[in-house]
Amino acid sequence: MRKTTRLKTLIEAPKLLVMPGAYDALSAMLIEDAGFDAVQCSGFGIAASHLGLPDIGILGFREMLDRTRVIAGAVNIPSMADGDTGFGDAATTWHIVREFEAAGAAGINLEDQVMPKRCGHFTGKAVIPMGEMVGKLRAAADARLDKDFVINARTDALQPLGVDEAIRRGNAYAEAGATLIFVDGIETRDEVKQVIAEIAAPVSINMVEGGRTPMFTFTELEELGAARVSCPVTTILAAMKGVQQALATLKDTGAPGSQPDALAGFGEIKDRLRAPNFETLGKKFAG
């Protein structure tokens, strides 16, 4: 089964799809090895790891495309790209959908913020007119060569315009061709329930450690009818903490060998990270 079809099938299934965020190929491989069915390319994680900057629209299209290509190519499970605002108008949205699909992504996030965008849990967000976003989504749907390629339409209208406007946009975006609707920056448990109940399409919820949206268990979200939950920063937060602890130990002890658990994280993934025997390969393919 194609990755696009697998992702679309997982979204439409009764079981909640859990998609942790990856910020590079290795984190994507770890997500796959942990038994998750799909991976989300994390805009925040890629901006932080690749540029050392916050998620405020500085990361360019080509940079995001390159990161997405290596993530998609590192795993056998479907991955979803972060297409930000489409990096422009409907025409650029059409183009980037073609590019991300060619790069191996099984789907894409597209949002209705003004450009440059901001992380969905930051304050001060502004959104484009609903009709303009509908045009972008129609362009995205038209651009797909594989009609199972997933379009995850994100609206950030809740914070500046209220939950009713976010729901109105979600339904309009679904009619425009979106597979999945993602209302970002939800601030109360009642709003989470309302969004899932009143949007006539599969709904995605974001769970961000330290973010605005209250934490639900996956069982609760599944019972409410959510189709997908993304956990975009879980891996990079864990990596940051792990590196900080390792460096503190290294500095205190003065030797890397004093960390007995240093190789524990390799697990079964270590074989995939071993370099091939280039001398043997050279002899095999020598003319």
Q: pLDDT (tens digit, 0 to 9) for every residue of the chain, 287 residues total?
A: 999 999 999 999 999 999 999 999 999 999 999 999 999 999 999 999 988 888 777 888 999 999 999 999 999 999 999 999 999 999 999 999 999 999 999 999 999 998 877 676 667 688 999 999 999 999 999 999 999 999 999 999 999 999 999 999 999 999 999 999 999 988 888 999 999 999 999 999 999 888 778 888 999 999 999 999 999 999 999 999 988 988 888 888 877 765 566 666 666 666 676 666 666 767 777 65
Q: How far apart are CA 118 and CA 111, in angstroms?
A: 11
Q: How far apart are CA 176 and CA 136, in angstroms?
A: 9
What is the value of pTM for the model shown? 0.89
Q: How does 29-59 read in b/e, with b if 16+ C-beta sit within 10 Å?
A: bbbbeeebbbbbbbbbbbbbbeeeeebebeb
pLDDT for residue 58: 81
* DSSP-assigned letter for residue 276: P
Structure-token pair, residue 224: 């409410």
* Helix ranges restricted to H, the chain: 3-12, 25-33, 43-51, 61-74, 90-102, 130-143, 158-161, 163-175, 189-198, 218-224, 234-253, 270-273, 278-284
- Which residues face 140 on adjacent strands? none
Half-sphere exposure of 272 (CA within 13 A, CB side): 13
pLDDT for residue 245: 87
Q: How far apart are CA 170 and CA 40, in angstroms?
A: 20
Does residue 158 sit in helix, strand or coil? helix
**Which has the closest alpha carbon to 183: 234, 95, 237, 161?**
161
pLDDT for residue 187: 86
Task: Please say whether the beta carbons of 135 and 94 come within 8 A.
Answer: no
Distance of CA 281 to the CA centre of its chain: 37
Q: How far apart are CA 157 and CA 113, in angstroms?
A: 8
**Which has the closest alpha carbon to 79: 127, 149, 138?**
149
Question: Rounded to the nearest 5 degrees, what angle is found at the Cα of 150, between the Cα atoms of 39 and 204?
Answer: 65
Q: How far apart are CA 264 and CA 56, in angstroms?
A: 35
pLDDT for residue 37: 98
* Helix ranges restricted to H, 176-233: 189-198, 218-224
**Which has the closest alpha carbon to 135: 88, 181, 90, 180?**
90
